[in-house]
Structure 1
C-alpha cells in the first residue's frame, strides 16, 4: 500500500528544509506520495504543492492580519484535504500559527503529526509548549538546546542536527564567486540580504538601498550584490530601485555563492543569518516590523539576541540593528567598518566558527527521514 504524507512549508527557508527531508525519505521509499504547501524546491522533489508558499510568507502580527484571507483560505483547503485524503502522516515545518491550527484538525482525525523545525517558543510565547504537547506526536528539533526544553515539558523529541550544516557551501572561492557574477575580486563587495518575504522587502529593502547609496557616494569602487529569494519575483523588488541610483547586481537564488563573493553582508534577521555565519562571512543584522507589532512582540521575547547566529553562539558576534536603529546611516557605518577594518573583519570570521561548532555534525535530513519512516511504521536500516 502506498503511503501518503502531507507536508506544510509556508516559507522559503522551510521549503528548503522540507525538500531535504523529502529527498532523504525518497532515497529509501520512492513510492511515498507527498503533497501540501511549498515552493520551487519541494516541487523539484516531486511534491504536489496545492498552495505556493510565496503567498504565505509574511512576518509581524498586523502583516499576517492583512494577508488573513489568503492564509485562512489555504488553511481551509488543507483541512479539507486532510479529511478527504487521510494521509498517513502530517509533517509541519516551522510556520507555527498556521501549522498548529492544522495540527488540531489532524489530531481530531487521528492523523499522526511530526513537527520539524520547532517554533521559537524558547524565545517567546513559551506557553505554546502545552499546545504542542496536546497536538504533536513528535518534535524533530535542529538546535541542541531545544531537546531538553521539550523533554522537560513532556513532549517526545529528537535532536536531528541542523540541515544547514550539510547544505551551506559554495562551489566557488571568493575570487571565483566574484567572477561568476561579473564582479571585480580586487574591489570590495557588500551583500544586501533583505529577506524572503514580501513584507520584509517592503520594510527593509528601501533602507538597505539608502545605506548602499551612502556607501557608494563615499566608496565609488564598492560593489553591491543582492540574491533574490525563490519566494520573490523581479516585480517585488523593482519598485524599490526606482529613483535610487545604486548599482546593485541582483541574482536569482544562488545565495551561498553570493555569500562567498561578499566581503561583508547586511542581512535581515532570520535563517539567512545562520547560513551567512556558516559561510563565515562577516555580517550586520537588521530587523524591522510594524511599530505596534514590535511593541507587542518585544514584551514577549525571552532571549538576549534576535539573530539566530548570535542565539546559537550564545554571544553578540554580529551587530544587531533593531527597529528604530535600522536606519540607513547606522547600517552604512556598521557595514563600512566590517568592509574596511581588516582586523575587525578577520576577528568576526574567526568568531563565526563557533556557530558551526555549536550546531554539530552533518546528517540532519537523513536523521529526520528516519523519524518519518518510524512514524509510518516502515522499518529503517540501522
Structure 2
C-alpha cells in the first residue's frame, strides 16, 4: 500500500471488544500495514489496537444508570473532534447505539464510510431511529436473521454475516471435559452467571446468593460454579464481591467453585444456568444449555421505562429471536430468590423439560447463521478500504 490505511473502531462494551477483536486480528495479519485505533477494552489492546479510551467499564443498564455515565457525553465529543483531525479511512461501530450513533452521524458528515457490526435490534421497533440508522450508516453487518430482515426492509445496505460466536466458541466432548474439570458423570452442575457490568453485579449478586441458599435448603447434592467475567479480573472491587459471595456460600455448606477461566468448557458441561440477561444468554444458547434469566434495574429506571413506553416484550435474547417465551424470565420484583429457586428446582427435577428447552435453544441457534461470520465481516472491511484480496 502506498498510503497506510487507518481503521477507527468503537466497541463500547466487553463483549463487543471480544468479538470484533477476532475480525481485526485477521485483518491485521493479512494487511500488516493497516493502522488500528479506537475505543475498546483489553481484547482489542491485545491485538494491537491503539485504544484512545478503554471501554471495559462502560457498560450501563437502564435509563438512570446510563445517565450516571455523563462523562461519556464529553468523551463522545472528544472522539468526534478526533475523527475530524485523524480522518480514518473507515469507522467500525460495534453495538452500543447511544454512543455510536453520534459517531455514525459525524462520520457521514466527514465522508468517512462506516460499518455497523451488531446493529441495534431495538431500532426495529422504533421507526424514526431505524430511519436515522439507515441514513447515516453505509453498511450493516447483521448477526441475526430477524435483524437482517428488519434492516433490509428499511432500505439499509445490510449483509447477514451471522454471529462471530459460532466461529469463536470452542466445541469439545462434554464427558471428557467433565473429567478434565474434575466433575463426575452423575454430577448436576448449575452455572451462576451474574453478568459483566458493575451495575449488574451490585444489583444482582445478593439475589444470586439468596437463591443458591434456598436451592441448597431443598437439594444438597447440586454442584454450583460462579462464573466471573474476565474483565473483572482487573477491577478489584468487583472481583472481591464475587470472592465474598463464593466464600459465604462455601461456609453455608454449598458445593460451589468460583472460576475466572474455562468459561466455555464449563458451559458445555453445565446442566442448567442462572444467568443475567445479556450476551451470556446467547453463548448458552449455542451450547443448548437450559437457563433461567433474571434482570434488574433501579426503581426509577423502571418508572421512567413505563412512562416512556420502553418496556420490551422480552428481555432474553433467545426469547427475542424465538419471538416467544421459551426461557423463563424474572424481572424487577419478580426477580426474587423465591421465584428463581422454585423455577430452578422445577427444572432440576424435570428431565423432559430440560431436553425440550435444549431442543428449542438449538432451533434458535439456527437464526444466528452459520460459521464464517469473521471472514464475512473481514470481506466487508476489505471492500470498503479498497484493498486487494
Superposition TM-score, scaled by structure 1 size: 0.92
1:287-345 Cα distance to aligned partner (Å, 9 max, x none): 11112322333554586422111222233221111221111111111111222322212
The number of residue pairs the alignment matches comes to 378
Q: How far has the Cα of 1:253 moved from its partner?
A: 4.2
Q: Name the CA shift for 1:28/1:302 in 2 (closer, same or farther; >3 Å).
A: farther
1:53-103 Cα distance to aligned partner (Å, 9 max, x none): 22211111111111212x234323422321232110110000000001122
Question: Could you tell me how far apart the structure 2 residues matched to 1:149 and 1:68 are?
Answer: 31
Counterpart in 2 of 1:9? 11
Counterpart in 1 of 2:110? 109
Out of 362, 381, 385, which is 1:372 matched to?
381
Q: Name the CA shift for 1:148/1:353 in 2 (closer, same or farther; >3 Å).
A: closer
1:335 maps to 2:339 = no
1:123-134 aligned at under 5 Å gives the runs: 124-134=125-135
Out of 47, 50, 68, which is 1:48 matched to?
50
Secondary structure of residue in 1 paired with 2:145? coil
1:110-164 Cα distance to aligned partner (Å, 9 max, x none): 2221111011224554421122123211111111122232233222211111212
Question: Could you tell me how far apart the structure 2 residues matched to 1:123 and 1:292 are?
Answer: 25
Q: Name the CA shift for 1:245/1:302 in 2 (closer, same or farther; >3 Å).
A: closer
Q: Name the CA shift for 1:124/1:202 in 2 (closer, same or farther; >3 Å).
A: farther
Superposition TM-score, scaled by structure 2 size: 0.90
Out of 60, 63, 83, which is 2:62 matched to?
60
1:227-266 aligned at under 5 Å gives the runs: 227-233=227-233, 234-239=236-241, 241=244, 244-246=248-250, 247=254, 248-266=256-274
Q: Which runs of 5+ in 2 are unaligned?
A: none
Q: Name the CA shift for 1:8/1:292 in 2 (closer, same or farther; >3 Å).
A: same
Q: How far has the Cα of 1:21 moved from its partner?
A: 1.8
1:200-349 aligned at under 5 Å gives the runs: 200-233=200-233, 234-239=236-241, 241=244, 244-246=248-250, 247=254, 248-298=256-306, 300-301=309-310, 304-349=313-358
1:275-298 Cα distance to aligned partner (Å, 9 max, x none): 101101110111111123223335
Question: Could you tell me how far apart the structure 1 residues matched to 2:360 and 2:156 are?
Answer: 34
Q: Name the CA shift for 1:77/1:175 in 2 (closer, same or farther; >3 Å).
A: farther
8 Å CA contact 1:92, 1:116 repeated in 2? yes
Question: Could you tell me how far apart the structure 2 residues matched to 1:180 and 1:78 are?
Answer: 46
8 Å CA contact 1:38, 1:49 repeated in 2? yes
Q: Mean alpha-carbon deviation: is it higher for 129-138 or for 191-200? A: 129-138
Question: Could you tell me how far apart the structure 2 residues matched to 1:230 and 1:78 are?
Answer: 27
1:19 maps to 2:27 = no
8 Å CA contact 1:124, 1:300 repeated in 2? no
1:178-193 aligned at under 5 Å gives the runs: 178-193=178-193
Q: Name the CA shift for 1:67/1:253 in 2 (closer, same or farther; >3 Å).
A: farther
Counterpart in 2 of 1:84? 85
Question: Could you tell me how far apart the structure 1 residues matched to 2:305 and 2:192 are?
Answer: 26
Question: Could you tell me how far apart the structure 2 residues matched to 1:104 and 1:311 are?
Answer: 28
Secondary structure of residue in 2 paired with 1:58? coil
Question: Could you tell me how far apart the structure 2 residues matched to 1:249 and 1:84 are?
Answer: 50
